[in-house]
Structure 1
Amino acid sequence: MSYRLDLTVIDKSKQVSRFALTLHNLSDKPLYNWSLHFTIARWISANSLSIGKLSQLGSYCILTPDNASPLAPNSHFYTEFNIGTKPFTLHDDSIIDAFLNTSSGNTPIHPIPVEITTIDLDQPATEHVSSPLPPAKAVSLIPAPDSLTRLQGEFRLNQHTAITTPPEAAVGSTRWLQTEMNKLLHEDLPIKEQGNITYQLHENMAEGAYHLLIEPDHIWLQAGSASGFVHASSSLLQLIPAMPSHQADAAYILPMVEIQDQPHYAHRGMMLDCARHFHPVKRLKNLLDQLARYKFNTFHWHLTDDEGWRIEIDAFPELTEIGAWRGPNEMLKPQFTTISQQYGGYYSKQEIRELIAYASDRGITIIPEIDIPGHCRAAIKSLPALLVDPDDHSEYRSIQGYPDNILSPALPGTYTFIAKVLEEVCELFPAPYIHIGGDEVPQGVWTDSQACQAMMEQYGYREHSELQGHILRFAEECLQAKGRRMMGWEEAAKGDKLSTKAIIFSWLSEEAGQVCADKGHDVILQPAQHTYLDLAQSDAADEPGVDWAGRLPLEQVYNYRPFSSLENDDPAHQHVLGIQGGLWCELVNSQSRLEFMLYPRLLAIAELGWTPPEKRNWNDFRARLHGQMPYLDRAGINYRHCEAPSSAESI
C-alpha cells in the first residue's frame, strides 16, 4: 500500500478529545492536488483543525490541505482536530474507511486506496473477559419451555421417517420442517397418509401454545394454531443432535420427551437495519430460519433511512434508481464502509413477496418500517421536486450529521409522497402493522420556513414538535384507511397527535415506554441498554460494536426484567405487547459481522420474550446455551465464543 493513515488520541477530557491525523506518502512519487476522503461516526469540529480544511456530511469527511503543495515521497501530512464527545474506548470509534482523490473540478472521482492503521486510544489494554459455561444439558431447548419431562427411550430419525398429511394450519410449518430435514438427510422427508411424525389440531389450545410428545415409534405435535405448530416444530428441530449416530443408517437419535409450552409475550421481535448496509435476500432467509428456530414471531424490517432506500415503489422509481445507491460519484455520498465505489441495493416487490411467504411458513410476520419525517435524506435526494422547499432556510444538524434529512410539513408533496408510499407498502405487506419511525427529528428544523410558521398559526400549534405530530397523524389516517395499525419509535408520541391505537417502541430507555403505557398506548420494549445488539459485548478495545448506550454483554441482555420497578398489578404491564432486539448496521456490512453481533445474544432475547421472568435462570440458560453450540457450529454461524467444558449433564 502506497499511502497510510494514522489516527491517535493526544488529549481527552470528559466531553472533548483531541486527535492527531497523519497521512503518509510511502510511494516514490509526489502526490499532487490531493484530498483525503474518510468516514468516521463522530462529528469533527471543523474549525479546530490545526492545518487544512474539512467538510463533513454524516460520517463522510473530505480533508484538503491549506495549500496546493504536493505531498512529497516518503513524507507525511499532519493535522490535529477536536471531537466533542466522550473519549473513544473502541477501535470501531475510529476512521472506518478512506481513500485519496486527485481529480479536480467536476471530473469523476477516481479513488486511490489508503491503508488505515488501528487507532492509538491512549488507554490501558483491556483483556476480553469470558467465564466458563456449565456442562451442557442433555436437553438444551432455548427458550426454556414451560414444562419438559424426560421419558425413557429414544426416536430414530432417518430416511424411513415420514410426515402424516398435516391439517391446514400446519402446512406452513410442515414445509419448514421438510426444508430443515432435507439439510440433515439430504433427501425430502415424504408426506404420507400415515407417517410417524403427526401434526394434530386441538382447537382449544391457546394461540402459540403447543404439546410435543416424542415416543419410540412416533412424534406428536399438537397445537390450536399455525403459530403453535411452528413452535412445536422449532422444539423438535432443536432436539435433533448436531450429528447423526454412527449406525449404518446414519440415524439421528432424539430423546423421548413430553413438552407443554406457550409464549409469555405475544410480540417477540427482531429488528434489522437494511438501510445503512444492504443485506441480500439469502442473508435474510438465513436469519429468518434462526428466528423461527428460537421462537421469534416478528421480523421488523428497517427499509429506509438517510443512507439508503431499499424498497421498490412503483409510483416513485427514483427512490431505488437514485436513493438505493451511494458512492463518490453518486447523488448520495459515501457513508460508513465501501466508500470508494458505488454501494447499495434494494428489494424488488417480487423478492419481498417471496420473503413474506418464506417467513410465514416459519410463523414470522414481517413488519416494514418506512421512516418519516426524519431519516429521509435518501428520499429527499431522490425526489427534490416533490420534497424540497427552496424557501425553507432552517438550519439544523441531525444526530447522524445531516442538515437536509427532514420532510417538510408545509409541502403538499410530503403528503403525496407519504400517501403513495404507504398505499403500496400496505398492498405488499399483509402484516396488520406498519412502522413509520418518527424518531430523531432535531432541534432547529422548520424554524426558518415562512410556510411552516404560517401552518403553525393556521392550526394553533405552539411547538414545532406539533408539526411532526401533524405529519404522523396524516400517516396514521392513511394506515387506518387500509385497516392497519401504526407503530413508531418513542418520539412519534411527541406533539400528542397520534391516537392511542398507535403502538410505541421505547428505545432510549424503558421509562418512555412507561410514560406511553400510562397514556393508553400499547408498547414494545426495545431499550438500547438491554436489546441493541450493535453495542459492544465487552470492555476490550478491539471488541466490535459501538458504546453510546454502554456495553451489552450476554448476561446483561438475559437479566432484563421489563417494568421491574412497577408493582405487579400496575396497569402499565397490560400494555406491554412484547420485547424486541435490534441490530443497527452502520458498522455491519457482512454475514460474518452480522452473526458475531447477533449470536449468542439473540438466544437470550428469545428467552426474554418466551419464558416468564420467574421461570428464567441465568446458570440454567448458560448450560442450555452450551448445548446449542454444536448446532451453531454445524450451521457455520460465526457466534461470539464462550469458554465451555466438554462434559454433559442430564436434566
Structure 2
Amino acid sequence: MQPVCYRLESAWQPDGGPFGRFTFTLVNLSDSPLRDFRLVYTSLTRIIDGAACENAVFLRRNANFHEFAPPKGFILGAGESWTFTVSGLHRQAKHCTDGAKSAYLTLSDERHVPVAVSDLLLEGATSEPPPQRLPQGKIDLPYALQPWPAKIDVVPGDGFPVVLYPESGSSKDEISAADTVLALFHRLFPGGHAPFTLASSPQGRPIVFAEKPELGPEAYALAFSEREIRLEYGAAAGRQYGLTTLAQLLDGARREGGKFRFPVSGTISDQPRYGWRGCHLDVSRQFYPTADVMRLIDILAWFKLNIFHWHLTDDEAWRLEIKAYPTLTTLGVLRGPDEPMLPQLGNGAEPVGGFYSQDEVRAIVAHAGALSIEVVPEIDIPGHSTAALVALPELADGQEAPESYHSVQGYPNNALNPAIPLTYEFLEKVFDEMVELFPSQYIHVGGDEVANGSWLASPLARKLMEQEGISGTFALQSYFLKKVKQMLTARGRKLVGWNEVAHGGGVGTEGTLLMAWENPKVGIELAREGYDVVMTPGQAYYLDMAQAEAFQEPGASWAGTATPAHTYAYEAEGEFPEELKHRMKGVQACIWSEHFLSRGYFNRLVFPRLPAIAEAAWTPKAQKDWLRFAAIAPLSPIL
C-alpha cells in the first residue's frame, strides 16, 4: 500500500464563533511543494457561513462535502504545514467524530490524492477519556442467557453435558431445527465447541421435542433432568428460541465455568414480551457487504430478535437493484470527486459504490427466514431521495429553482415531487419488483424529514396544490403518501413509515404502522390518532448516539447521550396510558451509519446496546436486571 503523503490535523475550540471553531492543519509529508491545490474534507459538522474562515477560501459545500483553497499564490513546501480556521458552523462539536471524517487534495492537474485524517482534538476545555460502558456485573442465577427468560426455576449442576442431541425418533423438522441453531453457533463462534450433535452421544444428553400449539408460536418451555431435556414449543420460531437458549446455556457453562452453570433440574417457561422485536440497518450512508448483513442477521437470531428493517435507500445511495431502472445502482450509488454524487461521510479520493443484486437480496431474505426473522425493506420517500434524483433526473421539475430548499442534512431539493406523474409510474415499478423479492407483509416507505418548504418553488407542485386545495409542504406530503399507501394495498402490503407520515393529515390508520423516533411522546400521540406504533426513540434506541458525554466518545449527539445503562433501563410503554398500550406493537434498535467508518466503531457503538434492546423487547420488566445483564453481555457475538 502506498503511503499517504499528506495529513490533516484538526482541533475544535469552544470559542471563536457562535458554535466554536475548527482549526485545520494540512501537513505536506511529500518531497515536493504544493501549489494551486484544493482541499476537500467531509464532516457532519457543516459550514453555513463560508466567509467565516481565516487563511483559506471557502469554495463550496454539498451536505457534508466541503471544499477550500489556500490564499492566492500560497505554496506549501515539503515538510511544511498550512493552518486555517473555520468558525461559521451550524452546531458545536461535542465528540471526536464531529470533525473531518475524510479528506483529499485536488491538484493543479485535477488529479485527486488521498489525505490521512487524524482524530478531532478538543482545545480550550478538558478532554476526559470515556468511562467504562459496563460495570463489573453481578449474577444471582448462574446462567448465560440473552435475553433473560420470562420464567426460570432451575437448579445448577456441577458439570454439563458435552453435547445435546435430538432424541431418537425426532422428526425431520426437529432435527433440522437443531442443525440450524448448530450452524448459527458455528458462524457466530467459529472457535467454540459445538453445543449440539445430530447423532446420539454417550457423553451427551437427549432433547425430547414436543409440539404444543397452545403455547403460542414464539413460546417454548424447557424441563431439565439428568436423563434428558424436554423442549415444548408452540411453532417453529419457539422451537428455534428454545434451542438457542440451550446453546447459550451450554456455551456459557463451557466458556466461563466459574461463573455460569448448566441446569440439572427445573424448568424455563418463556415467550417474548413484544411481537415486533426489530433491528434496523442503514446501508445507504455506508455499504455493508452481503456477508456482513448475513452476520448481523445471525446476531439478531442469537438475541431472539425477529425483524430486520433494511434501510436500502437514502440521499447518499440507492442500494437495491431495480431491473426497470438500472441507473439507480449505477449512477445512484457512486460517490467520488468526479462521480455523479460527491464524496460524503468518510469518502475520499477513491470512488465508492456498492449495491445488492436481486439474487443477493433473495439469499439474504432466505437466510433470515430460516432463522425466523422477517426482512422489512425500506425505500425512503419522498424525502431523502437525492440518489434517486441523480439516477433519474426526469423525476425532477426542471422549472424548479436549484437549491430552493435544503434538508436537515444539507441536501438541496432532495424530495420526489408529488406533482410529476412519472414519480408514481416509477414507484409502481419499484414496488412491483420489491413484492417479488420480499415476502414480508410490510414495506417501509420512510416519510421522514421532508424539509418544510419543499416543492413550494416547483410550478408543477404549485399548480397541483391549487387544483387540490392543498396548503403547505406537509399537506402535499400527505397527498403523496396516500397514493403510495394505495399502491401498497393493491399489492397486498401494509405501509410502515417513520412518525412524520402522520404530518399534514397523514394516511389511513388501518393497515399502517408508524415508528416513533423523534422522542417517546410522539409514540403516544400517534397511538391517540389511531396508528399502531413501534417505539424506536433516538434518546434510547438509536445505536449511533454517543454512549457518554466525554469528547473522546464517538457517536452522534442530537438526541443526547444514550449510555448502555439508560438504553437497558428505558421502558418504551412506560408512559403509555393503559387504553393505548394495545397500539404499541414493539420496539426496535436503529443502526444509522454516518459514524460507522470502521468495524471497530460499529462494534463499539452497537454492543452492548443491541443485546440491551433485545432484552427490553423480550424480557418482562419485572425480570430485567442491569447488573445481571452486565455480567452476561461480554459473551455477546459481535460483527
Post-superposition CA distance 1:288-336 (Å, at most 9, x none): 2221111111111111111111111111111112212212221121111
- Corresponding residue of 1:436: 445
Q: 2:401 aligns with which of 393, 401, 407?
A: 393
Are 2:181 and 1:177 equivalent residues in the alignment?
yes
Are 2:15 and 1:17 equivalent residues in the alignment?
no
1:153–1:216 CA contact under 8 A, matched in 2: no
Are 2:244 and 1:229 equivalent residues in the alignment?
no
Post-superposition CA distance 1:565-607 (Å, at most 9, x none): 344x2x2211000011111001113333222211111111011
Per the alignment, in what secondary structure is the counterpart of residue 294 of structure 2? helix
Q: 2:371 aligns with which of 362, 369, 372?
A: 362
- Corresponding residue of 2:609: 601
- The 3 A distance-change label for structure 1 pair 57 and 272 is same
**Inter-partner Cα distance in structure 2 for 1:78 and 1:381:** 35
- Corresponding residue of 2:128: 126
Q: 1:580 aligns with which of 575, 588, 598?
A: 588
- The 3 A distance-change label for structure 1 pair 209 and 23 is same
- The 3 A distance-change label for structure 1 pair 270 and 165 is farther
Amino acid at match of 2:149: P
- The 3 A distance-change label for structure 1 pair 242 and 265 is closer
1:237–1:293 CA contact under 8 A, matched in 2: no
TM-score, structure 1 length as denominator? 0.89
- Corresponding residue of 1:374: 383
Are 2:325 and 1:316 equivalent residues in the alignment?
yes
- Corresponding residue of 1:91: 96
Alignment of 1:342-361 (within 5 A): 342-361=351-370
TM-score, structure 2 length as denominator? 0.91
Counting matched residue pairs gives: 620
Amino acid at match of 1:597: L
Q: How many angstroms does 1:460 deviate by?
A: 0.9
**Inter-partner Cα distance in structure 1 for 2:566 and 2:61:** 35
- Corresponding residue of 1:647: none
**Inter-partner Cα distance in structure 2 for 1:412 and 1:352:** 29
Are 2:67 and 1:65 equivalent residues in the alignment?
no
- The 3 A distance-change label for structure 1 pair 155 and 431 is farther
Alignment of 1:558-637 (within 5 A): 558-567=568-577, 569=578, 571-618=579-626, 622-629=627-634, 631-632=635-636, 635=637, 637=638
Q: How many angstroms does 1:390 deviate by?
A: 1.0
**Inter-partner Cα distance in structure 2 for 1:576 and 1:167:** 37
**Inter-partner Cα distance in structure 1 for 2:393 and 2:296:** 35
Alignment of 1:329-478 (within 5 A): 329-385=338-394, 387-393=395-401, 395-478=404-487
- Sequence identity percentage: 31
Are 2:336 and 1:327 equivalent residues in the alignment?
yes
Structure 1 unpaired stretches of 5+: 639-651
Are 2:23 and 1:40 equivalent residues in the alignment?
no
Q: 1:101 aligns with which of 102, 106, 117?
A: 106
- Corresponding residue of 2:307: 298
Amino acid at match of 1:127: P
Per the alignment, in what secondary structure is the counterpart of residue 23 of structure 2? strand
**Inter-partner Cα distance in structure 2 for 1:188 and 1:614:** 32
Amino acid at match of 1:12: D
Per the alignment, in what secondary structure is the counterpart of residue 161 of structure 1? strand
**Inter-partner Cα distance in structure 2 for 1:579 and 1:12:** 40
**Inter-partner Cα distance in structure 2 for 1:275 and 1:452:** 28
2:6–2:27 CA contact under 8 A, matched in 1: yes
Per the alignment, in what secondary structure is the counterpart of residue 447 of structure 1? coil
**Inter-partner Cα distance in structure 1 for 2:146 and 2:7:** 47
- The 3 A distance-change label for structure 1 pair 245 and 379 is closer
Amino acid at match of 2:206: N
- Corresponding residue of 1:649: none
**Inter-partner Cα distance in structure 1 for 2:604 and 2:462:** 48
- The 3 A distance-change label for structure 1 pair 434 and 121 is farther
- Corresponding residue of 1:78: 83
2:25–2:83 CA contact under 8 A, matched in 1: yes
Post-superposition CA distance 1:526-558 (Å, at most 9, x none): 000010111111122221211111111111101
- The 3 A distance-change label for structure 1 pair 81 and 477 is same
**Inter-partner Cα distance in structure 2 for 1:439 and 1:561:** 24
Q: How many angstroms does 1:11 deviate by?
A: 4.7
**Inter-partner Cα distance in structure 2 for 1:407 and 1:365:** 28
- Corresponding residue of 1:110: 112
Q: 1:536 aligns with which of 520, 528, 546?
A: 546
**Inter-partner Cα distance in structure 1 for 2:72 and 2:412:** 28
Are 2:58 and 1:49 equivalent residues in the alignment?
no
Q: How many angstroms does 1:93 deviate by?
A: 0.7
Q: How many angstroms does 1:476 deviate by?
A: 0.9
- The 3 A distance-change label for structure 1 pair 259 and 404 is same
Q: How many angstroms does 1:439 deviate by?
A: 0.5
Are 2:230 and 1:220 equivalent residues in the alignment?
yes
Per the alignment, in what secondary structure is the counterpart of residue 325 of structure 1? coil
**Inter-partner Cα distance in structure 2 for 1:601 and 1:132:** 14
- The 3 A distance-change label for structure 1 pair 497 and 554 is closer
**Inter-partner Cα distance in structure 1 for 2:112 and 2:90:** 33
- The 3 A distance-change label for structure 1 pair 296 and 171 is farther
**Inter-partner Cα distance in structure 1 for 2:588 and 2:615:** 11
**Inter-partner Cα distance in structure 2 for 1:159 and 1:512:** 48
**Inter-partner Cα distance in structure 2 for 1:508 and 1:14:** 28
Q: How many angstroms does 1:447 deviate by?
A: 1.1
Are 2:549 and 1:545 equivalent residues in the alignment?
no
Post-superposition CA distance 1:362-421 (Å, at most 9, x none): 211111111000111111111113x12211116111111110321111111211111111
- Corresponding residue of 1:516: 526
Alignment of 1:151-162 (within 5 A): 151=155, 153=157, 156-158=160-162, 161-162=165-166
* Higher alpha-carbon deviation: 28-37 or 146-155: 146-155
Structure 2 unpaired stretches of 5+: none
- Corresponding residue of 1:261: 270
Amino acid at match of 2:419: A
Post-superposition CA distance 1:489-532 (Å, at most 9, x none): 01111121411021110111011111110010000000000101
- The 3 A distance-change label for structure 1 pair 579 and 160 is closer
2:14–2:123 CA contact under 8 A, matched in 1: no
**Inter-partner Cα distance in structure 2 for 1:528 and 1:122:** 30
- The 3 A distance-change label for structure 1 pair 71 and 245 is closer
**Inter-partner Cα distance in structure 2 for 1:413 and 1:171:** 51
